[in-house]
């Protein structure tokens, strides 16, 4: 396997095929499949064609074949087994990753090319599917590649900033034209990551809401004052991993005390893991969307 062709992390392969990571590792240990290249730091990388083979393997297993039989067969043999059984098959190009070109542009710091990819996916999928099928898996794989050293901090910052600019350009005009409820979006003092906040802003405006965006590292008294000034129905906070949870908990308590009791306080993001009241969490953008729709119907 050529290292240049091996583009998928084991997490990306798992998401593309629906096979848990531990199962993929077990198959590799017992049967030598899927075949992985290794980075300099020892992390697995798979070719895009591996997705097709593993998808075929899973369908053959559903027919009752043993793993040892399915994993020993090549793509042609797997397709023959499915054809004989009259079972549906994935198309030959099913292994192509729509995110592969995104990472190529990021590795080369190609701003315009990366933006073209974003615009193309946005136009093809629409806003909601763009977030669910492109942005969410992209951010997860970006984190994996940063963690295993195949992408540097410079790449992560470059990608995050370009994506932030793109998302901002999409939701701000919609917010300006919105006539629905107002929501104030911010991060707590010390939190500099705002990409999750832009995803939340896009979700709000797609539900007809208007966004007042304070962004990163907002002082608590300013959040409360802005929420009152704009008659916000809720304050929505975002936080990335690596925060001081005790400090976050204290800040949430202080902010809740500053806010009018009628203004809801909600939060989302991995940085809030383990945080308790006085604010309620959103565990996904889908939960935020459902909450917004419930409020619109009330």
- Whether pLDDT at 100 is above 90: no
Q: What is 6-85's CATH topology? A: Multidrug-efflux Transporter Regulator; Chain: A; Domain 2 (1.10.1660)
Task: Let me know: does 48 contact 97? Beta carbons within 8 Å.
Answer: yes
Kindly give the pairing relationship between strand 182-186 and strand 210-215: parallel
For the segment 81-96, the average pLDDT, to the nearest whole number, is 71
* Element housing 100 (H / E): helix 100-107
H helices present in 1-48, as ranges: 10-17, 21-31
Give me the chain's average pLDDT, please: 88
Q: Mean per-residue pLDDT for 224-245? A: 91
**Is-cis flag, bond preceding 73, omega within 30?**
no
Does residue 95 have a pLDDT over 60?
no
Contact 161, 109 (CB under 8 A): no
- Per-residue pLDDT reduced to its tens digit, 63-85: 889 999 999 999 889 999 998 88
**218 near 185, Cβ under 8 Å?**
no
**CATH number, span 100-167:** 1.10.1240
Is the model more confident about 133 or about 265?
265
φ/ψ of 236, rounded to 5, equals: -110, 125
Average pLDDT over residues 48-72: 89
CATH architecture of the domain 178-297 equals: 3-Layer(aba) Sandwich (3.40)
In the chain, domain spans: 6-85, 100-167, 178-297
pLDDT given at position 1: 41
Q: How confident is the model at residue 92 (pLDDT cuts 50, 70, 90)?
A: low
Mean pLDDT of 115-134: 91
Is residue 36 within 8 Å of 3, Cβ to Cβ?
no
Beta bridge partners of 280: 266
């Amino acid at each position: 396997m050529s290292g240049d062709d091996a583009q998928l992390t084991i997490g990306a392969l798992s998401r593309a095929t629906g096979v848990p990571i531990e199962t993929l590792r077990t198959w590799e240990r017992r049967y030598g499949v899927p075949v992985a290249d290794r980075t300099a730091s020892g992390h697995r990388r798979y070719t895009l064609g591996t997705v097709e083979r593993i998808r075929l393997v899973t369908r053959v297993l559903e027919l009752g074949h043993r793993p040892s039989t399915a994993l020993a067969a090549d793509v042609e043999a797997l397709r023959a087994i499915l054809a004989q059984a009259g079972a549906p098959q994935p198309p030959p190009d099913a292994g192509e990753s729509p995110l592969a070109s995104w990472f190529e542009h990021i590795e080369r710091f190609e701003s315009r090319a990366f933006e073209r990819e974003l615009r193309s996916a946005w136009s093809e999928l629409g806003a909601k599917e763009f977030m669910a099928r492109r942005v969410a898996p992209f951010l997860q794989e970006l984190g994996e590649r940063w963690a295993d050293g195949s992408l540097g901090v410079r790449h992560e910052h470059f990608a995050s900033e370009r994506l932030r600019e793109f998302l901002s350009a999409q939701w701000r005009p919609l917010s300006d034209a919105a006539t629905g409820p107002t929501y104030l979006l911010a991060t707590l003092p010390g939190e500099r990551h705002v990409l999750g906040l832009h995803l939340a802003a896009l979700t709000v405006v797609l539900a007809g809401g208007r966004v007042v965006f304070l962004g990163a590292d907002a002082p608590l008294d300013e959040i409360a004052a802005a929420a009152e000034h704009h008659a916000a129905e809720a304050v929505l906070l975002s936080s990335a991993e690596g925060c001081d949870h005790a400090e976050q908990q204290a800040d949430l308590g202080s902010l809740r005390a500053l806010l009018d009791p009628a203004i809801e306080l909600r939060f989302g993001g991995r940085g809030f893991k383990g945080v308790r009241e006085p604010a309620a969490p959103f565990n996904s953008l889908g939960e935020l969307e459902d909450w917004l729709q419930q409020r619109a119907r009330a």
